[in-house]
Amino acid sequence: MIDSLIDKIEALQNPTVVGLDPRLSFVPEHIKKEAYEAYGKTPKAASGAFLRFNQEIIDAVHDLVPAVKPQIAMYEQYGAEGIQAYIDTIQYAKKKGLIIIGDIKRSDIASTAEAYADGHIGEVKIEEKSYTIYQEDTITLNPYLGSDSIEPYLGHCKNYSKGLFILVKTSNPNSGEIQDLEIEGKKLYERIGKMVDTWGKDLVGERGYSAIGAVVGATHPQQAAELRRIMPKTYFLVPGYGAQGATAKDLKNYFNKDGLGAIINSSRGIIAAHQKDLYKNQYKEKEFALAARAAVLDMKEDLQQIF
Ligand SMILES: O=c1ccn([C@@H]2O[C@H](COP(=O)(O)O)[C@@H](O)[C@H]2O)c(=O)[nH]1
């Protein structure tokens, strides 16, 4: 997984990840109207509208970016039909050649973690039959239950060539309340970073990076510099660019000298570009996917200044 991600980043010269975090307020009126006419104002309509919205965005950006990151919360809130839209979005994006980062942020004791791992990055068995359900290539995890809670996923990464991005230093303003706590002279996020580095040691690919990556928020560049130093073989998934205020100027510390080591996510900044003043004047609401494409191209250009 990690080698294919790096190959795609290099081929496209773009480390951008498009976050697929649909909200009804982003979905153009004509899509909502059709969905409501078919199914009423129901979770089924919302989920159908999300899928169509995502499909148009995927069509518009799949030749520009290596990966998409659907955020499961946006779908899960609508129940079974929302989850179906999450699965259908993944299948559609995979067919277009995109790598899928499922932002699911799971965490539980090992026996329960096995079920999450089977469903998301492995396979479930029903008697003699096996099924792959969600089919993400990599997922996000919360590490705060410790090593035994991560083990089941590590086994699946080996067996099914999958990857993980484990929360190390999150982008939200209050992440320091817990993650910056000092224990025996070291910040908690540094300790977690070292643990992630250790968990990834057996999963280093041909390009020298591990399939076990870290989530490091774009809003914390100083902490990122320390983490980059202590985890050189770890790929960083970096949320916080755009809507949360980070810009390319903040991102130098996240990359290694080889120009690799980080992928930068933007969700609202891309999928809701048609509602921003910058693009609103150039694209009609129906052209929301073209606005998303323009936002990706602008982000790509912005990120060039890092290198
Ligand atoms: O530390 C973290 C971890 C995850 N996220 C997720 O990334 C996107 C960010 O969306 P934007 O619209 O670009 O702000 C969203 O899915 C978050 O849940 C994060 O922001 N920070």
Tell me, what DSSP letter sits at residue 204?
B
The ipTM estimated for the assembled molecules is 0.99
Whether residue 37 lies inside any domain: the answer is no
Residue 202: predicted pLDDT: 97
Whether residue 41 lies inside any domain: the answer is no
Instruction: Please state whether beta strands 182-183 and 186-187 pair in parallel, antiparallel, or not at all (unpaired).
Output: antiparallel
| DSSP SS3 for 182 | strand
Q: Which two tokens stand for residue 230?
A: 């202590």
What is the Å distance from ligand 1's center to 212 Cα?
19
Whether residue 55 lies inside any domain: the answer is no
Whether residue 210 lies inside any domain: the answer is yes
Whether residue 67 lies inside any domain: the answer is no
Tell me, what DSSP letter sits at residue 201?
G
Per residue in 102-113, pLDDT tens?
A: 999 999 999 999
What mean pLDDT comes out for the span 35-61? 98
Q: Which two tokens stand for residue 65?
A: 């970016």
Whether residue 87 lies inside any domain: the answer is no
Residue 278: predicted pLDDT: 95
**How far is it, in rounded angstroms, from Cα 108 to Cα 153?**
11
Cβ of 71 closer than 6 Å to ligand 1, yes or no, is yes
Average pLDDT of the chain, as a whole number: 98
Which amino acids are annotated catalytic? 105
Residue 44's alpha-carbon distances to 22, 79, 87, 255, in angstroms, are 14, 9, 14, 41
* Residue 15 near residue 47, CB atoms below 8 Å: no
Residue 151: predicted pLDDT: 98
Residue 184: predicted pLDDT: 94
Structural domains of the chain, count: 1
CATH assignment at residue 143: 3.20.20.70
Whether residue 301 lies inside any domain: the answer is yes
Helices (H) and strands (E) in the chain, counts: 13, 12
Cβ of 268 closer than 6 Å to ligand 1, yes or no, is yes
Residue 231: predicted pLDDT: 97
Domain that holds residue 243: 2-16+99-306
**Residue with the nearest Cα to atom 18 of ligand 1?**
71
Three-state SS for the chain is CHHHHHHHHHHHCCCEEEEECCCCCCCCHHHHHHHHHHHCCCHHHHHHHHHHHHHHHHHHHCCCCCEEEEEHHHHHCCHHHHHHHHHHHHHHHHHCCCEEEEEEEECCCHHHHHHHHHHHHCCEEECCEEECCCCCCEEEECCCCCHHHHHHHHHHHHHHCCEEEEEEECCCCCCHHHHCCEECCEEHHHHHHHHHHHHCHHHECCCCCEEEEEEECCCCHHHHHHHHHHCCCEEEEECCECCCCECHHHCHHHCCCCCCCEEEEECHHHHCHHHCHHHHCCCCHHHHHHHHHHHHHHHHHHHHCCC
Ligand 1: residue of 244, 254, 266, 275 to mutate (most ligand atoms within 8 A of CB) is 244
Cβ of 70 closer than 6 Å to ligand 1, yes or no, is no
Three-state SS for 280-306 is HCCCCHHHHHHHHHHHHHHHHHHHHCC
Q: How many CB atoms lie within 10 A of CB 112?
A: 14
pTM assigned to the model? 0.98
**Residue with the nearest Cα to atom 20 of ligand 1?**
239
**What confidence category does residue 182 fall into, taking pLDDT thresholds of 50, 70 and 90?**
very high
**What confidence category does residue 178 fall into, taking pLDDT thresholds of 50, 70 and 90?**
very high
**What confidence category does residue 15 fall into, taking pLDDT thresholds of 50, 70 and 90?**
very high
Per residue in 78-98, pLDDT tens?
A: 999 999 999 999 999 999 999
Whether residue 71 lies inside any domain: the answer is no
Ligand 1: residue of 16, 23, 54, 71 to mutate (most ligand atoms within 8 A of CB) is 71
Per residue in 250-288, pLDDT tens?
A: 999 999 999 999 999 999 999 999 999 999 999 999 999
